[in-house]
Amino acid sequence: MAAGIIRLVLVNLACSTICGNLVSGYRSFSIDYTNNCFLKDEKPFRFISGSIHYSRIPQYYWQDRLVKMYMTGLNAIQVYVPWNFHETVQGVYNFTGDRDLEHFLDLANKTGLLVILRPGPYICAEWEMGGLPAWLLQKPNIILRSADTDYLQAVSNWFGVLLPKIRPWLYINGGNIITVQVENEYGSYFACDYNYLRHLRALFRFFLGEDVVLFTTDGNTDRELTCGTLEGLYATVDFGTNNNVTEAFQRQRRFEPRGPLVNSEFYTGWLDHWGDQHAGVDAQKVSRMLAEMLTMGANVNMYMFEGGTNFGYWNGADHDTRFRSVVTSYDYDAPLSEAGDPTQKLLAIRDVIKQFRDIPPGPMPPATPKFAYGFVKLTKVGDLSSLLNTFSPLGPVKSHYPLMFEEMKQLYGYMLYRTMLPRDLSQPTPLISPLNGVHDRAYVSVNGVYQGLLERDIVLVMNITGKQGHTVDVLVENMGRVNFGSKINDYKGLLSNLILGIDVLTDWRIYPLDIDGAIAGGWPHSGGRSFLTPQDQCRSGPAFYTGTLQPNGIAWDTFLKLKDWVKGQVWINGMNLGRYWPARGPQQTLYVPGPLLSTTMPNIITVLELEGAPAHQQVLFMDRPQLNVTAGKS
């Protein structure tokens, strides 16, 4: 191995002495296949980069994170563009505010960071449906990530909007984007459809021109590299600290015998799923392996450098042996924490980078201040089922059999299915999801009394009681669509009938719920409160709670803990902070960005608790996160 490293170092040195001079004013970025490196303005170039996702960070903090990455000694960042974040409704595009990609590119450019852009269309990223818009599923049996004509048409339309915005930002055109990735880890997908990759290559070339370096990234097996690579797209690999660097780059060499060595995703940490142990990767292992790769002259992107947060409903999910949803925090045990704070891992990485390139002088910017605002008491607003006029003003859709979220054109969040008990059930009677069709969790009440839940892959039967004609409410939660593997056609809602004893439940009234719209519009403080009897107050099942955090002149970052609450969703001042589920863990606190808080007006907290609030009805604002406490089964 030592001999191998020395040879590669020599190759790298050779590269820096042989290559030609910069023709003044001429910008170029290319691959030098003779000397196994990139060339920037005709000079040898190697990137030391970190991943950051603008969609997981409030715009207010973009610059802060970018400066910290620059001060670590990085010369580039790697950025995903999540299609579903920009085209939430088919044909309607949003590039403003937290979605202002060009502003992000501009900030990176001003900070002195080059960009490796990953526009997908599929990105994985542990992001809802791997970045694909869920409206694609409105075509039954669509084959995503293939040459399926409807899929390709949607991709072409999207790239026809996105890529012309990107073109002026290419380095060769005066911007900072040095390379552009085509698809993502396509070799891990079952389809292995070269017609699809060829179509994408043609689109990228048409909109971005012939000169930009296009590349692919694949996992570190021959199968993945075989299905994920295509002529004209430079093949790179991704691997973490559990791999052997020499062997991993040898695999890249089998597909790219010449050219720069590139690890496009060197894992600094890992993601968490609800119910699993908190993941982490040792800082020493990360810095040691980074040094090993840089010694070989390799280009490295650290995934993630700053993870951020899956706000709202943007978390993805995996489906290997069973459905496992990704938690709200995307801290990732990355060098910059979820709240953007430098960690020991960052300092260790900076010490390594120092040995290979000059890092900017001056101190690392400090952590942003945090504040423990303390306890806030919430009060119950009402049960969700008594607030349907507020969330579903147009009323329900009637259907003999249940319809899915995608058929109802509500893609995210929660939807209520209502029917009546066909007969008296004096004995506990099984309510069954025989085909495992609850995607992903169903909270069941009879005549307003909460009876329990069904959960995809885990709880397929529960007992209920009641009388003929009683109302059955089934609130279904979409917990985020699968983002990886062959099961990304992840329809939500009730995908198949529910069976009660021996009866198929039919004649549904299905209420789409625009909870976020109501809360953004000022509910519950703008009215719509229901009168609550003491009995209503302590009922369990899906219900809303609200309270105010009084302003104290401070709007610092804080962490919201819902101790003894079970599972649900939280909003502050209209912003959806994401899901909480302390009963499963490992995440116990939600990140609250300081700029969201008002220093002068009461800050409105709204909680949708799905199973049952604790008697104390309190939430706690702390000055530190808690992401590592996994409870037993809840």
Q: Which residues are catalytic?
A: 185, 265
Q: Which residues from 56-85 bind ligand NAG, rule CB under 6 A?
A: none
Q: Which is nearer to ligand NAG, 249 or 303 (CB)?
A: 249
Q: Does 426 bind ligand NAG (CB under 6 A)?
A: no
Q: Does 90 bind ligand NAG (CB under 6 A)?
A: no
**Which has the closest alpha carbon to 545: 529, 521, 556?**
529
Segment lying near ligand NAG (by CB under 6 A), choices 154-162, 185-193, 217-225, 240-248? 240-248
Q: Does 521 bind ligand NAG (CB under 6 A)?
A: no
DSSP 20-60: -PPPTT---EEEETTTTEEEETTEEE--EEEEE-GGGS-GG
Smallest separation, CB 630 to ligand NAG (Å):
9
Q: Does 295 bind ligand NAG (CB under 6 A)?
A: no
Q: Does 195 bind ligand NAG (CB under 6 A)?
A: no
Q: Does 96 bind ligand NAG (CB under 6 A)?
A: yes
Task: Using CB under 6 A, pick the residue from 428, 501, 522, 614 that binds ligand NAG.
Answer: 428
Q: Which residues contact 423 (CB under 8 A, 6 or more apart)?
A: 468, 503
Cβ count near 244 (within 10 Å):
13
**Which has the closest alpha carbon to 452: 468, 479, 436, 475?**
475
Task: Using CB under 6 A, pick the residue from 90, 149, 246, 550 that binds ligand NAG.
Answer: 246
Q: Which is nearer to ligand NAG, 54 or 511 (CB)?
A: 54
Sign of CA dihedral 459, 461, 465, 468: positive
Distance CA 543, CA 385 (A): 8
Per-state percent for the chain, helix, strand, coil, to nearest 5: 25, 30, 45
Q: Which is nearer to ligand NAG, 233 or 575 (CB)?
A: 575
Q: Does 344 bind ligand NAG (CB under 6 A)?
A: no
Residue 197: phi and psi, rounded to 5, are -60, -40
Q: Which is nearer to ligand NAG, 246 or 552 (CB)?
A: 246
DSSP 242-292: TS-HHHHHHHHHHH-SSS--EEEEEESS---BTTSPPP---HHHHHHHHHH
Q: Which residues contact 361 (CB under 8 A, 6 or more apart)?
A: none
Both tokens of 39, joined, read 């060339």
Q: Does 284 bind ligand NAG (CB under 6 A)?
A: no
Q: Does 537 bind ligand NAG (CB under 6 A)?
A: no
Identify whether 304 is preceded by a cis peptide bond (ω within 30 of 0).
yes
- What is the CB-side half-sphere exposure of residue 605 using CA atoms within 13 A? 24
Smallest separation, CB 261 to ligand NAG (Å):
15
Alpha-carbon Rg for the chain in angstroms? 26
Q: Does 489 bind ligand NAG (CB under 6 A)?
A: no
Task: Using CB under 6 A, pick the residue from 175, 340, 512, 547 that binds ligand NAG.
Answer: 175
Q: Which is nearer to ligand NAG, 507 or 623 (CB)?
A: 623
Segment lying near ligand NAG (by CB under 6 A), choices 131-139, 266-274, 461-469, 559-567? 461-469
Task: Using CB under 6 A, pick the residue from 247, 282, 351, 424 that binds ligand NAG.
Answer: 247
Q: Does 97 bind ligand NAG (CB under 6 A)?
A: yes
Q: Which is nearer to ligand NAG, 230 or 462 (CB)?
A: 462
Task: Using CB under 6 A, pick the residue from 49, 55, 109, 419 that binds ligand NAG.
Answer: 109
Cβ count near 408 (within 10 Å):
18
Residues engaged in binding ligand NAG (CB under 6 A): 1, 94, 96-99, 106, 109, 169, 174-176, 244, 246-247, 428, 461-463, 628
